[in-house]
Amino acid sequence: MKIVTRSDLPSLRRSVDQGTEEQRRAVKEIITEVKSRGDEAVFAYTRQFDEVSLESLKVNPDEFDQAYESVDGEFVEILTEAAANIRSFHEKQLSQSWFDTSSDGTLLGQKITALDAAGVYVPGGTAAYPSSVFMNVIPAQVAGVDHIVMCTPPGEDGKVPAGVLVAARILGITEVYKAGGAQAIAALAYGTETIPAVDKITGPGNVFVALAKREVFGDVDIDMIAGPSEIAILADESAASTEIAADLLSQAEHDARSSSVLITTSAVLAEAVNNAVEEQLNDLPREDIARQSVKDYGMAVVCPTMQDAVDTVNEIAPEHLEILTSDPYQQLGKIKHAGAIFLGPYSSEPVGDYFAGPNHVLPTNGTARFSSPLNVDDFVKKSSVIAYSEEALKKNVDKIARFARLEGLEAHARAVEKRKERWK
Amino acid sequence: MKIVTRSDLPSLRRSVDQGTEEQRRAVKEIITEVKSRGDEAVFAYTRQFDEVSLESLKVNPDEFDQAYESVDGEFVEILTEAAANIRSFHEKQLSQSWFDTSSDGTLLGQKITALDAAGVYVPGGTAAYPSSVFMNVIPAQVAGVDHIVMCTPPGEDGKVPAGVLVAARILGITEVYKAGGAQAIAALAYGTETIPAVDKITGPGNVFVALAKREVFGDVDIDMIAGPSEIAILADESAASTEIAADLLSQAEHDARSSSVLITTSAVLAEAVNNAVEEQLNDLPREDIARQSVKDYGMAVVCPTMQDAVDTVNEIAPEHLEILTSDPYQQLGKIKHAGAIFLGPYSSEPVGDYFAGPNHVLPTNGTARFSSPLNVDDFVKKSSVIAYSEEALKKNVDKIARFARLEGLEAHARAVEKRKERWK
């Protein structure tokens, strides 16, 4: 871990993986094939990429049952409690339609409607996280999306990991399809005989998934393309160095490109955290990944004042921010850019990954400057409502017509003026 | 205008203009040049594309004064009143930060923060609409964005149209830059010596602008890529055919690719509207455009029942929808997908373009299925706030650690468990 001063802080922004020319071409071809050949193409790509010949794309009820029987009761209980917490938090995000009336009879408003259908992509293998199933599905359910489906690549045994199926069943999701990569994204965007087309696709994936999401964006909506995980910890001398080290490593173990940064007013703390990180690294199962991440993107930034430290946080705009100062609430109002903010020593970052309730799908790579955690608003859309009254139009028709003519749009002017014939 | 039955309705979706290979390459090159050479590149592209040699990129106060003096007082009054209406509507969209506390001391919440900086692109020439300035700037102002700048290509005289500068001054916007096309988008995304980098770019433009927005998306946020304008009118036999015709033509005059569709339960009305459209087309200043649009994308769909008609509307997911039935509020709840919904005979579509208050930047080309009018939420972002209490962590630490280990993330488990040392 490097210890640097604020002025020496290198940019932590990393270019989004746009893939190679060859990958982009492959993705375009896969999308074209799935669009024109449907299920047949999905089966073929599954044989090619996942090396398994499926008999059917849809996970059947027996497979759900087997998954459920393969896990212990306590696991189901923990998952069920986590799901309830996540649901409870997201229910508070629900927006309401509203309207405003004028005494002249006019009504203006905004109508909120859930999307018809949402598709969740769950990556395969070791990255097939039950928590991701919760974080992507629950906001859509709370929003009122009627039709939610999941796609995930099958393992070599043709099966979907038990944890994923158990998580889906806890949420009442029954439509899970064995399809991964760009072919899954294409199927969700355009539909096949078996896999239904949806209006929005969310969920993380490898570079092929990310490129395919970029490609179908506009025909359907997508969530943000996620980069490697990040944590920034804002701390003063009151913080515990071993806790900081443990929390930094919880992000470092995700990916060799993850970044974990301590921002502190205390050079002593920076030194102690550096030592604790070295010590704790030694017996981590994912030591290699974490060590590489700490080496390349781990850093302690020593700042002369707390205001400097806060400014540094805002420049980074981290995905996760922990505030471990003697007065964490005092700093909250100064934080402008962060995906999720964890206050105080008991809010270790993994508390938010699994259990507390807020979403763990968060803006990475500085995009917290302009984007938000995945939330219920991502699964609804608004329609403006305009019910102009006769009185309002009488009063304003000439102004509206004048405005339209100033913009050179005569037919616009005539449309509103056409109503004047009613008053002759 | 074609009169068709619902089963004969062709798809109205049009592929988004992805540009030619050459256009995409040109846009990439422009972005690279502006990124590396800044102002110098913007000046050079302005000479090349706008055929004008500028002395400075920024519009100076004298130019604002001259613009103000060149327009009459009534124009300013109408614009000022429209801006006040638009502001008033958008103020009702403001979301609040919220939090929720538990008796164990835990606080969970969602913090709303405005973006730091927004950039509005205003296209040049006849499409330089003061109303677009209002519709893009006001939501950002209401959201609390401190820094709002505008880019617009200069005319051959090196000037910006007076209407645009007057609209900007009414809103208190003083930073207007003479830059258009992909070079303006690149400057707003990455900054130059003169033009500041922003966090979000909104506003319509030609294919180069659209391609550049797609290219910088991810480094900054963008609004939706807009397609040609659309109107759908849901009407029964109670509606006035001449008013419907006038409203259909108000969209048809925008662009030869605009679509204007009547959806009705009355074959008699469809026939009458068709005749009225032909008649009203004859003396429109933009007759050629409107006629082409009506020929290619104008249609009357005759449906056997009102439910069929409503279903047709939802399939189209129109940008603008007028409901001209005897009971417009009765249909409102059935409309799932539309950008803006205009109820009753006095809510002619141009009322919403200029004056009523709701935004005229609306989802086109069926994207109302999953996107919304431009609104205040587009200029803020959320941060989750998690302040777990000691009691809450004590109760849940083992569950959280167990969950983390089930997902194979040992360092996550150790991070929360590290706090147990406090209780030894």
Give B61-71 pLDDT, tens digit per residue. 999 999 999 99
Q: Which of A370, A413, A418 sits opposite B220 (nearest CB)?
A: A370
Nearest CA in chain B to A322: B386
Consecutive H or E run containing A85: helix A73-91
| Contact at CB, B373 and A383, closer than 8 angstroms | yes
Q: What is the pLDDT of residue A150?
A: 98
Nearest CA in chain A to B79: A403
Return the residue in A142, A418, A420, A424 with the most chain B beta carbons within 10 A, the one to mutate for interface testing: A418
- The pLDDT tens digits of the residues spanning B13-26 come to 777 777 899 999 99
What does the alpha-carbon distance between residue A370 and residue B202 come to, in Å, rounded to a whole number? 13
Q: What is the pLDDT of residue B329?
A: 96
> How far is residue A264 from each of residues A148, A237, A278, A344, A420, measured CA to CA in Å?
44, 8, 18, 15, 68
Annotated binding site of B for substrate: 229, 251, 254, 320, 353, 407, 412
In this predicted structure, the answer to whether residue A109 has a pLDDT above a threshold of 90 is yes
Number of H helices, E strands in chain A: 16, 14
φ and ψ at A16, to 5 degrees? -65, 140
Nearest CA in chain B to A334: B113
Nearest CA in chain B to A386: B342
What does the alpha-carbon distance between residue B29 and residue B35 come to, in Å, rounded to a whole number? 10
| Residues on chain B touching A351 (C-beta within 8 angstroms) | 386, 388, 393, 396, 400, 416
What does the alpha-carbon distance between residue B103 and residue B320 come to, in Å, rounded to a whole number? 48
Contacts of B291 (CB under 8 A, 6+ apart): B281
Return the residue in A78, A225, A331, A409 with the most chain B beta carbons within 10 A, the one to mutate for interface testing: A409
CA angle centred on B338, ends B335 and B341, rounded to 5° = 80
| Residues on chain A touching B329 (C-beta within 8 angstroms) | 387
The total of other beta-carbon atoms located within 10 Å of residue A33's CB is 18
User: What sign does the dihedral B287-B290-B296-B302 (CA atoms) show?
Assistant: negative
Return the residue in B77, B365, B416 with the most chain A beta carbons within 10 A, the one to mutate for interface testing: B416
> Is the CATH number 1.25.40.20 carried by domain A227-370?
no
What average pLDDT does the segment A122-141 reach?
90
Query: How remote is the C-alpha of A177 from its chain's centroid?
Result: 21
| Contact at CB, B254 and A16, closer than 8 angstroms | no
User: pLDDT-based confidence at A6, cuts 50/70/90?
Assistant: confident
In this predicted structure, the answer to whether residue A115 has a pLDDT above a threshold of 90 is yes
The total of other beta-carbon atoms located within 10 Å of residue B389's CB is 18
The total of other beta-carbon atoms located within 10 Å of residue B197's CB is 16
What is the crossing angle of helices B390-406 and A73-91, to 10°? 120
What does the alpha-carbon distance between residue A56 and residue A158 come to, in Å, rounded to a whole number? 10
**Tell me, what amino acid is at B360?**
H
| Contact at CB, A350 and B416, closer than 8 angstroms | yes
Q: What is the pLDDT of residue B70?
A: 94
| Contact at CB, B369 and A381, closer than 8 angstroms | yes
CA angle centred on A159, ends A155 and A161, rounded to 5° = 80
Consecutive H or E run containing A316: helix A306-316
Residue A58: DSSP 8-state: B
User: pLDDT-based confidence at A127, cuts 50/70/90?
Assistant: low
Can A21-222 and A227-370 be said to share one CATH topology?
yes
Return the residue in B146, B253, B381 with the most chain A beta carbons within 10 A, the one to mutate for interface testing: B381
User: pLDDT-based confidence at A173, cuts 50/70/90?
Assistant: very high
In CATH, what is the architecture of B21-222? 3-Layer(aba) Sandwich (3.40)
The three-class DSSP label of residue A294 is: helix
Q: Which of B78, B243, B393 sits opposite A402 (nearest CB)?
A: B78
Q: What is the pLDDT of residue B127?
A: 66
Q: Please give the torsion angle defined by the CA atoms of residues B342, B202, A189 and A132, in that order, rounded to the nearest 10 degrees.
A: -110
Per-residue tokens: B110: 């969602």
Please identify every residue of A annotated as catalytic. Answer: 319-320
- Tokens 């984007």 belong to which residue? A371
Q: Å from A307 to nearest chain B CA? A: 18
Nearest CA in chain B to A129: B407
What does the alpha-carbon distance between residue B237 and residue B271 come to, in Å, rounded to a whole number? 11
User: What sign does the dihedral B153-B159-B163-B168 (CA atoms) show?
Assistant: positive
Give me the residue spans of the domains in chain A.
Answer: 21-222, 227-370, 388-423
Annotated binding site of A for NAD(+): 121, 183, 206
SS3 content of chain A, % helix, strand, coil (to 5): 50, 15, 35
Q: Which of A329, A355, A393 sits opposite B351 (nearest CB)?
A: A393
| Contact at CB, A367 and B218, closer than 8 angstroms | yes
What average pLDDT does the segment A359-387 reach?
96
What average pLDDT does the segment A235-245 reach?
98
CA angle centred on A90, ends A87 and A94, rounded to 5° = 125
Asked whether the beta carbons of B120 and B133 are under 8 A apart, the reply is yes
- Between A214 and A243, the more confident residue is A243
In this predicted structure, the answer to whether residue B225 has a pLDDT above a threshold of 80 is no
Nearest CA in chain A to B390: A346
- The pLDDT tens digits of the residues spanning A302-311 come to 999 999 999 9
User: pLDDT-based confidence at A198, cuts 50/70/90?
Assistant: very high
**Tell me, what amino acid is at A370?**
F
What average pLDDT does the segment B191-214 reach?
95
Please identify every residue of B annotated as catalytic. Answer: 319-320
Annotated binding site of B for NAD(+): 121, 183, 206
Q: Which of A126, A371, A415 sits opposite B350 (nearest CB)?
A: A415
Q: Å from B53 to nearest chain A CA? A: 27
Per-residue tokens: B55: 């002395």
What does the alpha-carbon distance between residue A300 and residue A2 come to, in Å, rounded to a whole number? 6
The fraction of chain A above a pLDDT of 70, given in percent, is 99
Annotated binding site of A for substrate: 229, 251, 254, 320, 353, 407, 412
The three-class DSSP label of residue A113 is: strand
| Residues on chain A touching B381 (C-beta within 8 angstroms) | 363, 368-372
Asked whether the beta carbons of B332 and A385 are under 8 A apart, the reply is yes
Q: Å from B281 to nearest chain A CA? A: 9
Q: Which of A220, A337, A355 sits opposite B396 (nearest CB)?
A: A355
Beta-carbon pairs below 8 A across chains A and B: 350
- The pLDDT tens digits of the residues spanning B37-54 come to 999 999 999 999 999 999
| Contact at CB, B336 and A111, closer than 8 angstroms | no
Q: What is the pLDDT of residue A17?
A: 74
ipTM: 0.95
What average pLDDT does the segment B304-314 reach?
96
Q: Which of B89, B340, B377 sits opposite A377 (nearest CB)?
A: B377
3-state secondary structure chain B: CEEEEHHHCCCCCCCCCCCCHHHHHHHHHHHHHHHHHCHHHHHHHHHHHHCCCCCCCECCHHHHHHHHHHCCHHHHHHHHHHHHHHHHHHHCCCCCCEEEECCCCCEEEEEEEECCEEEEECCCHHHCCHHHHHHHHHHHHHHCCCEEEEEECCCCCCCCCHHHHHHHHHCCCCCEEECCHHHHHHHHHHCCCCCCCCCEEECCCCHHHHHHHHHHECCEEECCCCCCCEEEEEECCCCCHHHHHHHHHHHHCCCCCCEEEEEECCHHHHHHHHHHHHHHHCCCCCHHHHHHHHHHHEEEEECCCHHHHHHHHHHHCCCEEEEECCCHHHHHCCCCCCCEEEECCCCCHHHHHHCCCCCCCCCCCCHHHCCCCCCHHHHEEEEEEEECCHHHHHHHHHHHHHHHHHCCCHHHHHHHHHHHHHHC
User: pLDDT-based confidence at A135, cuts 50/70/90?
Assistant: very high
- Which residue from A26, A69, A54 is spatially nearest to A176, judged by alpha carbons? A54
| Contact at CB, A370 and B115, closer than 8 angstroms | yes
Q: Å from B277 to nearest chain A CA? A: 11
| Residues on chain A touching B332 (C-beta within 8 angstroms) | 111, 385
| Contact at CB, B354 and A400, closer than 8 angstroms | yes
In this predicted structure, the answer to whether residue B423 has a pLDDT above a threshold of 80 is yes
Per-residue tokens: A119: 């598709």
Annotated binding site of A for Zn(2+): 251, 254, 353, 412
